[in-house]
């Protein structure tokens, strides 16, 4: 076990070094969510009725999920480059843990997304985002978004292993980025047409967004919290099992 952890640690440092040498990936990841935050708050926010809540407070949880969806595409891209470049096979010829390569990319994604999320929250605070959340509520927010990030990162590993072109890897994240638009992230679901409203209320983004929003607003989370955790854990288990099966098959 100690040897496996050491392998993961060494390979994670390698991946993080690549990011430090090319910080534009983190900057690019944060640019789109920040631009959307500015657009919706200052241009469209006045036309959207969310009650007495400031629109920036209502919007930020959804923007955080979009930040994660945007960031995990780089995980698939970096893994694709390693796979295509033969470095994965080279690592596997060494006496290291087979899963260390994947875990290194996953942990790198967690760190990079954490930085991007911090940037987006900082911009939100400048724009007027305010919360009365205590330490426990903040920890709960970090926990649920961290679990969501981990689940999507393992999902991104799959195209990183299976895609045949860079475009194929990059295109994977597009549906994930647009999924929040059909949820409670931007507008309340009550005003949506019947079928759209049903989908919005029963997809994972709505439960996660509502949970984070209630934690920030210090209002009861209710059953949304358990639904959000269940979605994240379910996606994580399926994505991890699928990714490991593909990885094992590729290595023979």
Domain boundaries, the chain: 2-188+195-251
Residue environment code for 181-203, b if the CB has 16+ CB neighbours within 10 A, otherwise e? ebbbbbbebeebeeeeeeebeeb
Residue 236 near residue 155, CB atoms below 8 Å = no
Report the range of poorest mean pLDDT among 9-18, 106-115, 125-134, 209-218.
9-18
- Cα–Cα distance, 146 to 163 (Å, whole number): 26
pLDDT tens string 42-80: 988 778 878 778 999 999 999 999 999 888 877 777 788
- Cα–Cα distance, 161 to 155 (Å, whole number): 11
pLDDT tens string 5-45: 777 777 778 777 767 666 666 677 778 889 999 999 998 87
Q: How far is CA 9 from CA 45, 108, 156, 165, in A?
A: 44, 10, 21, 29
The structure's pTM equals: 0.88
């Amino acid at each position: 076990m100690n040897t496996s952890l050491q392998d993961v640690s060494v390979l994670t440092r390698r991946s993080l070094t690549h990011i430090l040498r090319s910080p534009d990936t983190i900057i690019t990841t944060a640019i789109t969510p920040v631009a959307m935050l500015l657009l919706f708050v200052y241009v469209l926010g006045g036309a959207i009725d969310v009650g007495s809540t400031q629109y920036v407070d209502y919007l930020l949880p959804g923007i955080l999920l979009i930040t994660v969806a945007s960031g995990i595409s780089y995980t698939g891209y970096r893994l694709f480059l390693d796979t295509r470049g033969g470095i994965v096979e080279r690592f596997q010829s060494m006496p290291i843990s087979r899963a260390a390569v994947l875990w290194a990319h996953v942990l790198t994604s967690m760190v990079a997304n954490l930085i991007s999320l911090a940037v987006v929250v900082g911009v939100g605070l400048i724009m007027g985002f305010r919360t009365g959340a205590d330490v426990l509520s903040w920890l709960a927010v970090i926990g649920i978004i961290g679990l969501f990030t981990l689940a999507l990162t393992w999902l991104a590993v799959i195209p990183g292993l299976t895609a045949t072109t860079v475009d194929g890897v990059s295109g994977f994240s597009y549906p994930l980025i647009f999924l929040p638009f059909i949820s409670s992230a931007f507008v309340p679901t009550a005003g949506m047409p019947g079928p759209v409203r049903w989908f919005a209320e029963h997809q994972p983004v709505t439960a996660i967004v509502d949970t984070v929003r209630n934690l920030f607003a210090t209002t009861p989370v209710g059953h949304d919290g358990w639904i959000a955790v269940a979605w994240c854990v379910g996606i994580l288990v399926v994505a991890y099992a699928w990714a490991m099966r593909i990885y094992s098959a590729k290595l023979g």
